[in-house]
Homo-oligomer: A and B are copies of this chain.
Amino acid sequence: MRPGKRGDLLVHEDEPFNAEPPAAALAAAAITPADAFYVRSHGPVPTIDPSRFRLRVDGLVERPLELTLDALRQGRFAVREVVATLACAGNRRAGLAAVRPVPGELVWGSGAVSTARWRGVALADVLAAAGVRGGAAHVGFAAPDESAEADPPQPFGGSIPLAKALGPEVLLAWELNGAPLAPDHGAPLRVLVPGYVGARSVKWLERVEVRAEPWDGYFQRTAYRLLRPEEEPGPDVGMALGELALNADILAPADGERVAAGRVDVRGYAIAGGARAVARVDVSADGGRTWLAAALGDDLGPWAWRPWRLALELAPGEHELVVRAWDSAAATQPEHAAPLWNPKGYVNTCWPRVRVRAA
Protein backbone atom coordinates (compact mmCIF):
# COMPACT_ATOMS: atom_id res chain seq x y z
CA MET A 1 0.00 0.00 0.00
CA ARG A 2 1.35 3.48 -0.77
CA PRO A 3 0.03 6.96 -0.01
CA GLY A 4 -3.01 7.88 -2.00
CA LYS A 5 -3.25 9.50 -5.34
CA ARG A 6 -6.74 10.67 -4.66
CA GLY A 7 -7.38 12.71 -1.54
CA ASP A 8 -6.61 10.72 1.56
CA LEU A 9 -7.18 7.31 0.02
CA LEU A 10 -4.53 4.63 0.44
CA VAL A 11 -4.18 3.10 -3.00
CA HIS A 12 -3.82 -0.67 -3.40
CA GLU A 13 -3.92 -0.65 -7.19
CA ASP A 14 -4.20 2.01 -9.87
CA GLU A 15 -5.68 -0.14 -12.63
CA PRO A 16 -8.20 -1.34 -11.72
CA PHE A 17 -8.48 1.36 -9.09
CA ASN A 18 -8.69 -0.02 -5.57
CA ALA A 19 -8.23 2.19 -2.55
CA GLU A 20 -9.31 2.57 1.05
CA PRO A 21 -9.47 5.46 3.48
CA PRO A 22 -7.22 5.45 6.53
CA ALA A 23 -9.00 4.47 9.74
CA ALA A 24 -8.77 8.06 10.99
CA ALA A 25 -10.84 9.29 8.04
CA LEU A 26 -13.56 6.75 8.83
CA ALA A 27 -13.45 7.62 12.52
CA ALA A 28 -13.99 11.30 11.77
CA ALA A 29 -17.62 11.05 10.66
CA ALA A 30 -20.53 8.62 10.76
CA ILE A 31 -21.26 9.46 7.12
CA THR A 32 -18.09 8.96 5.07
CA PRO A 33 -17.25 11.90 2.76
CA ALA A 34 -17.49 10.88 -0.88
CA ASP A 35 -13.78 11.39 -1.50
CA ALA A 36 -12.93 9.14 1.46
CA PHE A 37 -15.33 6.33 0.45
CA TYR A 38 -13.45 3.12 -0.37
CA VAL A 39 -13.24 2.07 -4.01
CA ARG A 40 -13.32 -1.55 -5.18
CA SER A 41 -13.08 -2.16 -8.91
CA HIS A 42 -12.44 -5.25 -11.01
CA GLY A 43 -11.82 -3.55 -14.34
CA PRO A 44 -11.27 -0.16 -15.92
CA VAL A 45 -13.88 2.52 -15.28
CA PRO A 46 -16.24 2.39 -18.26
CA THR A 47 -17.09 5.59 -20.08
CA ILE A 48 -20.86 5.95 -20.13
CA ASP A 49 -22.59 8.88 -21.79
CA PRO A 50 -25.48 9.72 -19.43
CA SER A 51 -27.59 11.13 -22.24
CA ARG A 52 -27.42 7.85 -24.14
CA PHE A 53 -27.62 5.62 -21.08
CA ARG A 54 -30.42 3.07 -20.93
CA LEU A 55 -31.06 0.61 -18.10
CA ARG A 56 -32.44 -2.65 -19.43
CA VAL A 57 -34.78 -4.65 -17.21
CA ASP A 58 -35.45 -8.08 -18.65
CA GLY A 59 -35.37 -11.81 -18.04
CA LEU A 60 -38.40 -13.28 -16.27
CA VAL A 61 -40.57 -10.19 -16.58
CA GLU A 62 -43.87 -9.47 -18.30
CA ARG A 63 -42.74 -6.20 -19.86
CA PRO A 64 -39.03 -5.69 -20.54
CA LEU A 65 -38.07 -2.07 -19.92
CA GLU A 66 -35.47 0.33 -21.25
CA LEU A 67 -35.19 3.30 -18.92
CA THR A 68 -33.29 6.54 -19.38
CA LEU A 69 -31.82 8.27 -16.35
CA ASP A 70 -34.59 10.86 -16.54
CA ALA A 71 -37.22 8.12 -16.61
CA LEU A 72 -35.73 6.81 -13.39
CA ARG A 73 -35.14 10.13 -11.69
CA GLN A 74 -38.20 12.09 -12.77
CA GLY A 75 -40.58 9.40 -13.88
CA ARG A 76 -43.21 7.31 -12.17
CA PHE A 77 -40.95 5.95 -9.43
CA ALA A 78 -40.80 7.48 -5.94
CA VAL A 79 -37.33 8.82 -5.16
CA ARG A 80 -35.93 7.41 -1.92
CA GLU A 81 -32.96 7.96 0.35
CA VAL A 82 -31.23 5.27 2.37
CA VAL A 83 -28.25 5.62 4.68
CA ALA A 84 -26.29 2.45 4.09
CA THR A 85 -22.86 1.00 4.75
CA LEU A 86 -21.03 -0.89 2.06
CA ALA A 87 -18.37 -3.33 3.16
CA CYS A 88 -16.09 -5.35 0.95
CA ALA A 89 -16.08 -9.09 1.71
CA GLY A 90 -12.31 -8.71 1.94
CA ASN A 91 -12.35 -5.90 4.51
CA ARG A 92 -9.86 -6.63 7.34
CA ARG A 93 -8.13 -9.21 5.12
CA ALA A 94 -4.79 -8.04 6.57
CA GLY A 95 -5.70 -9.88 9.76
CA LEU A 96 -6.10 -13.15 7.87
CA ALA A 97 -3.00 -12.55 5.73
CA ALA A 98 -1.01 -12.20 8.96
CA VAL A 99 -2.01 -15.78 9.81
CA ARG A 100 -1.06 -17.14 6.40
CA PRO A 101 -0.65 -15.36 3.06
CA VAL A 102 -3.66 -14.89 0.79
CA PRO A 103 -2.02 -14.92 -2.65
CA GLY A 104 -3.52 -12.87 -5.42
CA GLU A 105 -5.83 -10.80 -3.24
CA LEU A 106 -5.62 -7.15 -2.17
CA VAL A 107 -4.59 -6.84 1.45
CA TRP A 108 -7.33 -4.55 2.73
CA GLY A 109 -6.86 -3.05 6.16
CA SER A 110 -9.65 -1.49 8.21
CA GLY A 111 -10.95 0.71 5.43
CA ALA A 112 -12.83 -1.39 2.88
CA VAL A 113 -16.03 -0.18 4.52
CA SER A 114 -17.79 3.18 4.27
CA THR A 115 -21.20 4.70 4.88
CA ALA A 116 -23.15 7.15 2.75
CA ARG A 117 -26.57 8.61 2.15
CA TRP A 118 -27.77 7.18 -1.15
CA ARG A 119 -30.51 8.48 -3.39
CA GLY A 120 -32.37 6.56 -6.03
CA VAL A 121 -35.51 4.56 -6.67
CA ALA A 122 -36.48 1.23 -5.17
CA LEU A 123 -35.53 -1.71 -7.35
CA ALA A 124 -38.84 -3.19 -6.16
CA ASP A 125 -40.80 -0.39 -7.83
CA VAL A 126 -38.98 -0.89 -11.12
CA LEU A 127 -39.53 -4.65 -10.92
CA ALA A 128 -43.22 -4.05 -10.25
CA ALA A 129 -43.41 -1.90 -13.39
CA ALA A 130 -41.78 -4.69 -15.38
CA GLY A 131 -43.94 -7.40 -13.79
CA VAL A 132 -42.05 -10.31 -12.26
CA ARG A 133 -43.03 -13.64 -13.82
CA GLY A 134 -43.55 -17.00 -12.15
CA GLY A 135 -40.37 -18.97 -11.61
CA ALA A 136 -38.35 -15.88 -10.75
CA ALA A 137 -36.12 -16.36 -7.71
CA HIS A 138 -33.09 -14.12 -8.23
CA VAL A 139 -32.33 -10.69 -9.64
CA GLY A 140 -29.05 -10.24 -11.51
CA PHE A 141 -27.06 -7.10 -12.17
CA ALA A 142 -24.70 -6.63 -15.11
CA ALA A 143 -22.08 -3.99 -15.80
CA PRO A 144 -19.90 -3.29 -18.85
CA ASP A 145 -16.52 -3.17 -17.08
CA GLU A 146 -14.45 -5.93 -18.67
CA SER A 147 -12.35 -7.58 -15.93
CA ALA A 148 -9.14 -9.36 -16.76
CA GLU A 149 -9.25 -10.97 -13.31
CA ALA A 150 -12.13 -13.19 -14.37
CA ASP A 151 -11.68 -16.51 -16.10
CA PRO A 152 -12.58 -16.02 -18.91
CA PRO A 153 -12.35 -12.19 -18.86
CA GLN A 154 -15.85 -10.79 -18.47
CA PRO A 155 -17.78 -7.85 -17.05
CA PHE A 156 -18.60 -7.70 -13.37
CA GLY A 157 -22.00 -8.95 -12.24
CA GLY A 158 -23.91 -10.73 -9.54
CA SER A 159 -27.37 -11.49 -8.21
CA ILE A 160 -29.40 -11.40 -5.02
CA PRO A 161 -32.46 -13.43 -4.02
CA LEU A 162 -35.74 -12.00 -5.30
CA ALA A 163 -37.04 -11.64 -1.73
CA LYS A 164 -34.13 -9.32 -0.93
CA ALA A 165 -34.55 -7.43 -4.22
CA LEU A 166 -38.14 -6.60 -3.23
CA GLY A 167 -37.05 -4.91 0.01
CA PRO A 168 -37.54 -1.12 -0.05
CA GLU A 169 -33.89 -0.59 0.92
CA VAL A 170 -32.48 -1.93 -2.36
CA LEU A 171 -32.00 1.08 -4.62
CA LEU A 172 -31.05 1.91 -8.16
CA ALA A 173 -28.93 4.82 -6.99
CA TRP A 174 -27.47 7.85 -8.76
CA GLU A 175 -26.40 9.96 -5.79
CA LEU A 176 -23.95 9.51 -2.93
CA ASN A 177 -24.14 12.12 -0.15
CA GLY A 178 -26.17 14.52 -2.28
CA ALA A 179 -23.92 14.57 -5.32
CA PRO A 180 -24.04 12.51 -8.51
CA LEU A 181 -22.06 9.28 -8.28
CA ALA A 182 -18.42 9.74 -9.20
CA PRO A 183 -17.12 7.49 -12.01
CA ASP A 184 -15.22 5.35 -9.46
CA HIS A 185 -18.45 4.74 -7.58
CA GLY A 186 -20.46 3.62 -10.57
CA ALA A 187 -21.71 6.67 -12.46
CA PRO A 188 -24.26 7.13 -13.70
CA LEU A 189 -26.17 4.34 -11.91
CA ARG A 190 -25.40 1.50 -9.52
CA VAL A 191 -27.45 -0.88 -7.48
CA LEU A 192 -27.24 -0.53 -3.69
CA VAL A 193 -27.86 -3.73 -1.72
CA PRO A 194 -27.68 -2.78 1.98
CA GLY A 195 -26.83 -5.60 4.38
CA TYR A 196 -25.03 -7.62 1.68
CA VAL A 197 -21.36 -7.82 0.76
CA GLY A 198 -20.34 -4.87 -1.37
CA ALA A 199 -19.80 -7.10 -4.42
CA ARG A 200 -23.57 -7.28 -4.97
CA SER A 201 -23.89 -3.49 -5.20
CA VAL A 202 -22.87 -3.60 -8.84
CA LYS A 203 -21.48 -0.33 -10.22
CA TRP A 204 -22.08 1.04 -13.74
CA LEU A 205 -25.30 -0.93 -13.79
CA GLU A 206 -26.67 -1.42 -17.28
CA ARG A 207 -28.92 -4.43 -16.96
CA VAL A 208 -31.27 -5.92 -14.35
CA GLU A 209 -32.11 -9.51 -15.21
CA VAL A 210 -34.82 -11.40 -13.35
CA ARG A 211 -33.72 -15.04 -13.17
CA ALA A 212 -34.66 -18.50 -11.95
CA GLU A 213 -31.10 -19.27 -10.80
CA PRO A 214 -28.30 -17.26 -9.19
CA TRP A 215 -25.92 -15.32 -11.42
CA ASP A 216 -23.68 -17.69 -13.33
CA GLY A 217 -20.76 -15.38 -14.02
CA TYR A 218 -17.29 -15.69 -12.56
CA PHE A 219 -17.81 -13.12 -9.80
CA GLN A 220 -20.53 -15.15 -8.14
CA ARG A 221 -19.87 -18.76 -9.13
CA THR A 222 -16.11 -18.66 -8.54
CA ALA A 223 -15.14 -15.42 -6.76
CA TYR A 224 -16.69 -14.02 -3.60
CA ARG A 225 -17.09 -17.44 -2.06
CA LEU A 226 -16.01 -18.73 1.32
CA LEU A 227 -13.82 -21.80 0.83
CA ARG A 228 -12.50 -24.32 3.32
CA PRO A 229 -8.78 -23.88 3.90
CA GLU A 230 -7.90 -26.85 1.68
CA GLU A 231 -10.23 -25.98 -1.20
CA GLU A 232 -9.12 -24.58 -4.57
CA PRO A 233 -11.32 -21.86 -6.10
CA GLY A 234 -13.55 -23.11 -8.86
CA PRO A 235 -17.15 -22.86 -10.04
CA ASP A 236 -19.59 -23.57 -7.19
CA VAL A 237 -16.81 -24.46 -4.74
CA GLY A 238 -17.56 -23.19 -1.23
CA MET A 239 -20.44 -20.95 -0.25
CA ALA A 240 -21.47 -17.82 -2.11
CA LEU A 241 -21.30 -14.73 0.07
CA GLY A 242 -24.48 -12.76 0.50
CA GLU A 243 -25.59 -11.17 3.76
CA LEU A 244 -22.83 -9.51 5.74
CA ALA A 245 -21.69 -11.20 8.92
CA LEU A 246 -21.57 -9.30 12.22
CA ASN A 247 -18.35 -7.29 12.41
CA ALA A 248 -16.71 -4.39 14.21
CA ASP A 249 -13.46 -2.47 14.19
CA ILE A 250 -11.39 -0.04 16.22
CA LEU A 251 -10.75 3.08 14.12
CA ALA A 252 -8.93 5.16 16.74
CA PRO A 253 -6.35 5.01 18.19
CA ALA A 254 -4.32 3.33 15.46
CA ASP A 255 -2.39 0.10 15.98
CA GLY A 256 1.06 0.95 17.33
CA GLU A 257 0.06 4.50 18.22
CA ARG A 258 1.67 6.31 21.17
CA VAL A 259 -0.94 8.06 23.26
CA ALA A 260 -0.80 10.26 26.35
CA ALA A 261 -1.50 8.23 29.47
CA GLY A 262 -4.83 9.05 31.10
CA ARG A 263 -8.10 9.39 29.28
CA VAL A 264 -7.96 7.94 25.78
CA ASP A 265 -10.90 8.22 23.42
CA VAL A 266 -11.42 4.87 21.65
CA ARG A 267 -13.70 4.91 18.63
CA GLY A 268 -14.94 2.54 15.99
CA TYR A 269 -18.00 1.01 14.39
CA ALA A 270 -19.99 -2.19 14.44
CA ILE A 271 -22.25 -3.57 11.75
CA ALA A 272 -24.79 -6.38 11.93
CA GLY A 273 -25.51 -8.38 8.83
CA GLY A 274 -28.73 -8.63 6.89
CA ALA A 275 -31.72 -7.27 8.78
CA ARG A 276 -30.13 -7.57 12.22
CA ALA A 277 -29.17 -4.65 14.45
CA VAL A 278 -26.12 -3.97 16.59
CA ALA A 279 -27.27 -4.51 20.16
CA ARG A 280 -24.12 -4.02 22.20
CA VAL A 281 -20.42 -3.25 21.84
CA ASP A 282 -17.78 -4.21 24.41
CA VAL A 283 -14.24 -2.84 24.63
CA SER A 284 -11.40 -4.49 26.50
CA ALA A 285 -8.14 -2.86 27.54
CA ASP A 286 -6.60 -6.13 28.72
CA GLY A 287 -6.68 -8.27 25.61
CA GLY A 288 -10.20 -9.56 26.15
CA ARG A 289 -10.16 -10.71 29.76
CA THR A 290 -12.51 -7.99 31.02
CA TRP A 291 -14.86 -5.76 29.06
CA LEU A 292 -16.38 -2.32 29.33
CA ALA A 293 -19.55 -1.05 27.70
CA ALA A 294 -18.98 1.24 24.73
CA ALA A 295 -21.53 3.99 24.12
CA LEU A 296 -23.39 3.48 20.85
CA GLY A 297 -23.57 6.54 18.60
CA ASP A 298 -26.56 7.79 16.67
CA ASP A 299 -28.72 5.14 15.05
CA LEU A 300 -28.45 5.95 11.34
CA GLY A 301 -31.09 3.39 10.43
CA PRO A 302 -31.19 -0.36 9.94
CA TRP A 303 -28.70 -0.46 7.04
CA ALA A 304 -25.86 1.59 8.47
CA TRP A 305 -22.98 0.77 10.74
CA ARG A 306 -23.24 1.85 14.35
CA PRO A 307 -20.45 4.13 15.52
CA TRP A 308 -19.36 3.59 19.12
CA ARG A 309 -16.92 5.25 21.51
CA LEU A 310 -15.50 4.81 24.97
CA ALA A 311 -13.20 6.95 27.10
CA LEU A 312 -10.64 4.60 28.63
CA GLU A 313 -8.24 5.45 31.45
CA LEU A 314 -4.88 4.06 30.36
CA ALA A 315 -1.95 3.87 32.76
CA PRO A 316 1.53 4.34 31.29
CA GLY A 317 2.65 1.21 29.44
CA GLU A 318 1.52 -1.17 26.67
CA HIS A 319 -2.16 -1.95 26.28
CA GLU A 320 -4.02 -4.25 23.94
CA LEU A 321 -7.41 -2.82 23.05
CA VAL A 322 -10.00 -5.27 21.78
CA VAL A 323 -13.58 -4.84 20.62
CA ARG A 324 -16.47 -7.21 20.04
CA ALA A 325 -20.06 -6.55 19.02
CA TRP A 326 -23.30 -8.43 19.72
CA ASP A 327 -26.24 -8.39 17.35
CA SER A 328 -29.97 -8.44 18.01
CA ALA A 329 -29.93 -12.26 18.02
CA ALA A 330 -27.34 -12.18 20.85
CA ALA A 331 -24.72 -13.60 18.48
CA THR A 332 -21.20 -12.29 18.93
CA GLN A 333 -17.89 -12.42 17.05
CA PRO A 334 -15.28 -15.18 17.13
CA GLU A 335 -12.06 -14.41 18.96
CA HIS A 336 -9.18 -15.35 16.71
CA ALA A 337 -8.24 -14.95 13.07
CA ALA A 338 -6.53 -18.31 12.58
CA PRO A 339 -9.70 -20.44 12.62
CA LEU A 340 -11.25 -18.06 10.08
CA TRP A 341 -8.45 -18.23 7.52
CA ASN A 342 -9.72 -19.11 4.06
CA PRO A 343 -8.02 -19.17 0.64
CA LYS A 344 -9.63 -15.97 -0.64
CA GLY A 345 -9.30 -14.14 2.66
CA TYR A 346 -12.93 -13.20 3.12
CA VAL A 347 -15.12 -12.40 6.13
CA ASN A 348 -12.58 -11.65 8.82
CA THR A 349 -14.96 -11.15 11.71
CA CYS A 350 -12.59 -11.89 14.60
CA TRP A 351 -12.09 -9.47 17.50
CA PRO A 352 -10.04 -6.52 16.24
CA ARG A 353 -6.98 -5.80 18.38
CA VAL A 354 -4.96 -2.59 18.56
CA ARG A 355 -1.77 -2.20 20.58
CA VAL A 356 -1.04 1.23 22.01
CA ARG A 357 1.73 2.60 24.22
CA ALA A 358 0.59 5.15 26.79
CA ALA A 359 3.33 7.50 28.02
Contacts and interface: CB of A to CB of B under 8 A. Distances in A.
Interface of A: 226, 228-229, 239, 241-246, 273-276, 279-280, 282, 288, 291, 293, 324, 326, 328-336, 339-340, 346-347, 349
Contacts of A334: 332-335
A206 B347 CA distance: 45
Contact of A293 (B228, B282, B293): B228
Is the contact region of chain A dominated by helix, strand, or loop, or is it mixed? loop
A246 B331 contact: yes
A335 B335 contact: yes
Q: Which 8 A-B pairs have the closest CB atoms?
A: A243-B329, A245-B331, A273-B329, A330-B347, A245-B329, A334-B334, A239-B279, A245-B330
Nearest to A331: B245
Contacts of A332: 245, 334, 340, 349
Given A239-B326, A274-B275, A274-B329, 6 more contacts: A228-B291, A244-B329, A245-B330, A330-B346, A331-B331, A331-B349
Contacts of A243: 276, 328-330
A276 B241 CA distance: 13
A171 to B, nearest CB: 21
A328 B242 contact: yes
A177 to B, nearest CB: 27
A350 to B, nearest CB: 9
A339 to B, nearest CB: 6
A228 to B, nearest CB: 6
Q: Which of A241, A274, A280, A329 has the most CB of B within 10 A?
A: A329
Contacts of A349: 331-332
B331 A273 contact: yes
A34 to B, nearest CB: 28
B330 A335 contact: no
B330 A241 contact: yes
Given A291-B228, A334-B335, A339-B335, A329 B242 contact: yes
A187 to B, nearest CB: 30
Q: Which of A282, A331, A347 has the most CB of B within 10 A?
A: A331
Contacts of A242: 328-329
13 contacts: A226-B326, A239-B279, A239-B326, A239-B330, A243-B328, A245-B332, A246-B329, A246-B331, A274-B276, A288-B339, A331-B349, A332-B340, A334-B335
A343 to B, nearest CB: 14
Contacts of A273: 329, 331
Nearest to A226: B330
A335 B275 CA distance: 25
Nearest to A246: B331
A139 B280 CA distance: 24
A46 to B, nearest CB: 30
Contacts of A293: 228
Contacts of A280: 226, 239
A346 B332 CA distance: 13
Contacts of A333: 334
